[in-house]
Chains A and B, each alone.
Chain A
Amino acid sequence: MPEGAPWLVALAGQQNAGKSTLFNMLTGLQQHIANYPGVTVDKKSGSYPADGQRYEVVDLPGCYSLAAFSLEERVARAFLLEDRPDVVVNVIDATNLRRSLPLTFQLLEMGFKVVIALNMMDAAERRGLEIDIAHLERRLCVPVIPVVGRKGKGEAELRAAIAKAATTDHVTPATLNYGALEEDVARFQGKLAAEPALQDVSARWLSVKLLESDSEAEALLGTRLPNPHGILDEVYTARKTFEKRHGLSSGDHVSYCRDRHAAAIIEASITDTKAGQVPVSERIDRVLLNRFAAPIFLMATVWAIYQLSIVQGYELTKVTWPFLAGFRNFAAGILPDAGFLTDPQIRSLGLWIVDSINTLLNYVPIFLILFALIAILEDSGYMARIAFILDRILHRFGLHGQSTLPFILAGVFAGGCAVPGVMATKGIPDARARLATILTVPFMNCMAKIPLYTLLINIYFPETKGLMLFYLSTITVVVAMLVAKLLTSSVLRNEETAPFVMELPSYHLPTIPGVLRRSFDRTWLYIKKVGTVVVAIAVVIYVLLQFPGVPAARQVAYHAEAEAAIAQFYEALEGNPHRLAVEDPARLIDLINVQSAYRAARLNAGGKEAVQAMDADLAEAHPDFVPFVLRGRDADAKAANQALRTLTNQRTTLRREMRSDRIEASFLGHIGRGLEPVTQFADFDWKINIALLASFAARESAVSTLGVLFDQDDGENRSLEDRMGAQQSSEGRTAVSAVALMLFFALYPPCLATVIMVRVQTASTGWMMFSIIFPTLLGLTVASAVYSGATALGLTGLQTMSTVWFAALGLLLVVALPKPWLPDLLAGRSREPAQ
């Protein structure tokens, strides 16, 4: 090792042994998360200095052994074989030594310098386990360092042991004797050791792997040796002979030997002072997993999460919103000033981007709370219990017990976000169920779907708001289940599945730093991943909405109207002494801008003092504008104020009309019109098409785009509900159209940020495209069928929605419940594919 090159240290161990905790302890904040090449498994690496040397640490994915069966194990094994770490820190949960030691034996067999970090010593102590560390060290011939990762106990000792192991020459560790198979193992070990092409691989390990029928070991032999068949044939014969003689496959025998050896070591090194006592976790589970109490407790938990994160988080956004609004005002201040009719392009684009970012940041408080609560659920161990309780139901639909968390994050009831939901599918070990989860999570009601529902429900269902919201929030879950079933029995049928085999961790009290860290990490990831995409897409949508712009003829008309309005303004000020301030037309534009900045700031100002301070500032900066902006007392000031009000109202109206014209003439407008022949069956006109297209970038924008499109000419301050309701009904739209629209929106493809996350999590552009196309077709079909059907039958909106809801529920029950009338035909199918 050349001086200065860092030592490579790998942390290996089982799921939940505390690898990540120790990783954080060793590296502090110096860490970097990426994916292993080609797969979506996290590769966490970081480094720390000690005695002038750097130690580069890699947190390997959790594995029980180094067999080639699961993705995590394959990744861990490939890393160990290819990157040859200088030291392997084997992290072991001290309360679970027996199951951990087989991995240790394999690491030793592979010829690594191993340091054992015996973690969770606190828990072992509480369990009443007395562990003879010296004895363990003697039996395993490696240093065993007791640590408590959560409290940082044993950190210095662990670092010292790593440094010592890295610098000492390799010592041959004690090897495990394979009894009846030992002769074969030794024979092949000798043969393999003699192969020059295999010098970098431990011969003993490879010999055992071959006898275990490990397919990757055979493949390794195939790639390294010019003619592997001789050895492979001998291995096959040896395996067969062994099986015939002992009635047990050699692989099972190897596994059995490791287990026996582990048991023997533990027998001699651990004293259980509380043997026979029921562990605390089990005592808790007797209550929490009780057949009748479990569902109640689960519902209570989900309800608490919903209340704390969505409801309380929403309250918190009211506190944080003024900061975001202040940020917008600040941006508006530094961007070039607005014109009378049209603004500089850079100003419009800048504000458009700030608005997009603000909608995103507005959810941050909710996410912080939500992710902290989820981290508590995970760390405490209850999340695993949720999977245990719900697996039966989810499995019916091709999903997995661990699909629960993604669905909760995405907003099972109302208010979540599909981005963290899709992110959280990482832990699902079953590839088919994982894909099905990724593809159905976006059906949940994310927070951005709610405003459109609220808008339409307020217009069309003012009397039955609660019921409609209930229908909408539950039907998405029903549809997600049905779609999951459909996908897993069609396109996903041949994906790899895995059994549901999971260890129930003991209950832990989550630590505050741990929870906060996870919450901040995940929120930050959301901001980073989504933020960049949202900005990029915001620009694209902006261009699509702005260009080619208002038609020239209309533009001339608008300018004429604007000039008339300005002339009228000056006329009204005839003889008014305040007119002097705006004699120059350029000053008039300044005045208008000063007034709108003042108004925006005032909306955001809290309390009387703040307003007074603003007034004072205004008087200082623009004394001659004061009579126009602030309501004065004398007649001249009143008239000036009135004239400006009239003018700005006219300006607002003109600008709004222009915007509407611009959108209609825009590229997106053309697309929206072009889609009318298809969407007419669902009764979507071009305006709604545009809103839906724009909402693909970010759901929030659906309502704001509709707001622009349904502007009224009169400029009076009617709410969007009124405007849209009046205009829509004059065009013959009914509540049934609204139901069709809401159903489409519920089933609509995930927003772009989610789509990007789907791409990241599936590592496949094909699935990303599928996640866009399939829901679009589904939504359009459902919306068209519902609209046409309900119109033909003459149903009201509420009747339509109720019918759809009960139909979906009926379908769900038909799918979920057993079908004795279906012959056993399917019994042989849908088995996991042969290994």
Chain B
Amino acid sequence: MMNRAFFQAMGLGRGRCRGDGKGRRKGYRCHEACCKGRDDTNLNDIAPGEACTICRLHGRGSVRQRLLDLGFQPGREVKMVRNAPLHDPIELQLGDSFIVLRRREAAHIEVTHA
């Protein structure tokens, strides 16, 4: 936790929170129209070592297609493996493969805790 506060202070951590005061642990939010007003759990809210299940993919275009191709399909289980030393990108385990994405892309993946 201390680490996170430190990186946030450095501006190296998660993106700016919008401070909606709901008191839930919130990570990087996607600011694009498709995700505006979304307040569900996404991959950014998962701590290293935790696993979760993919519900939906937001976003569109090539990012989304690439994520689908890599196997980020609804219903599959993902494990958050680790953060990069500077907190972003993150490494995920999906089945047998280890995949790295930026938090901004991870914000497009809506999940539920397993």
Task: Enumerate chain A interface residues (CB-CB to B < 8 A).
Answer: 64-65, 67, 69-70, 95-96, 98-99, 102, 127, 252, 255-256, 259, 279, 281-282, 285, 289, 291-292, 294-295, 384, 387-389, 391-393, 395, 401, 498-504, 817-818, 824, 827-828, 831-832, 834-835
Contacts and interface: CB of A to CB of B under 8 A. Distances in A.
Contact of A70 (B66, B91, B96): B66
A69 B66 contact: yes
A830 to B, nearest CB: 11
Contact of A835 (B62, B88, B91, B99): B62
Interface stretch (B20-28, B38-46, B76-84): B76-84
Given A96-B97, A256-B74, A817-B11, A291 B69 contact: no
Given A70-B66, A289-B91, A817 B10 contact: yes
A500 B101 contact: yes
B113 interface: no
Contacts of A96: 96-97
Contacts of B85: 289, 291-292, 294-295, 389
Given A69-B65, A388-B100, A503 B88 contact: no
Given A99-B71, A392-B88, A67 B65 contact: yes
Contact of B84 (A67, A255, A279, A389): A389
Nearest to A212: B65
Contacts of A295: 85
A817 B13 CA distance: 11
Contacts of B31: 827-828
Contact of A255 (B68, B83, B86): B68
Nearest to B98: A504
Nearest to A14: B69
B69 A64 contact: yes
A501 B91 contact: no
Contacts of B66: 64, 69-70, 499, 501
Given A95-B96, A96-B96, A501-B100, 20 more contacts: A69-B61, A98-B71, A98-B96, A127-B96, A255-B69, A279-B96, A281-B98, A282-B81, A285-B98, A291-B83, A294-B85, A391-B88, A392-B87, A392-B89, A393-B86, A395-B88, A395-B102, A401-B89, A504-B100, A818-B11
Contacts of B84: 289, 294, 388-389, 391-392
Nearest to B48: A291
29 contacts: A64-B70, A65-B69, A67-B65, A69-B61, A95-B96, A98-B96, A99-B71, A255-B68, A256-B74, A259-B73, A259-B76, A384-B100, A388-B84, A388-B91, A389-B84, A389-B86, A391-B102, A392-B87, A392-B89, A395-B88, A401-B89, A499-B63, A500-B101, A501-B66, A501-B105, A502-B100, A503-B97, A817-B10, A832-B61
A15 to B, nearest CB: 11
A500 B61 contact: no
A70 B88 CA distance: 24
A828 B31 CA distance: 8
Contacts of B105: 499-501
Interface residues of B, number: 43
Interface string B1-31: 0010000001110001000000000000001
Contacts, number: 127
Contact of B95 (A67, A98, A824, A831): A98
A256 B73 contact: yes
B75 to A, nearest CB: 8
A302 to B, nearest CB: 15
A41 to B, nearest CB: 16
Contacts of A285: 82, 91, 98
Contacts of A64: 66, 69-70
Nearest to A401: B89
A65 B32 CA distance: 26
Contacts of A827: 31
Contacts of A831: 32
Contacts of A384: 100
A99 B61 contact: no
Nearest to B31: A827
Contact of A69 (B62, B76, B104): B62
B67 interface: yes
Contacts of B86: 389, 392-393
Contacts of A282: 81, 93, 98
A835 B71 CA distance: 21
A279 B79 CA distance: 14
Contacts of A828: 31
Ranked nearest first, the 4 interchain pairs of A and B with the lowest CB-CB distance are A835-B61, A818-B11, A64-B69, A392-B86
A255 B97 contact: no
Nearest to B82: A289
Contacts of B67: 501
A295 B87 CA distance: 13
A389 B62 CA distance: 24
A501 B11 contact: no
Contacts of A259: 71, 73, 76
Nearest to A391: B89
Contacts of A69: 61-62, 65-66
Contacts of A824: 16
A503 B99 contact: yes
Nearest to B59: A499
A379 to B, nearest CB: 17
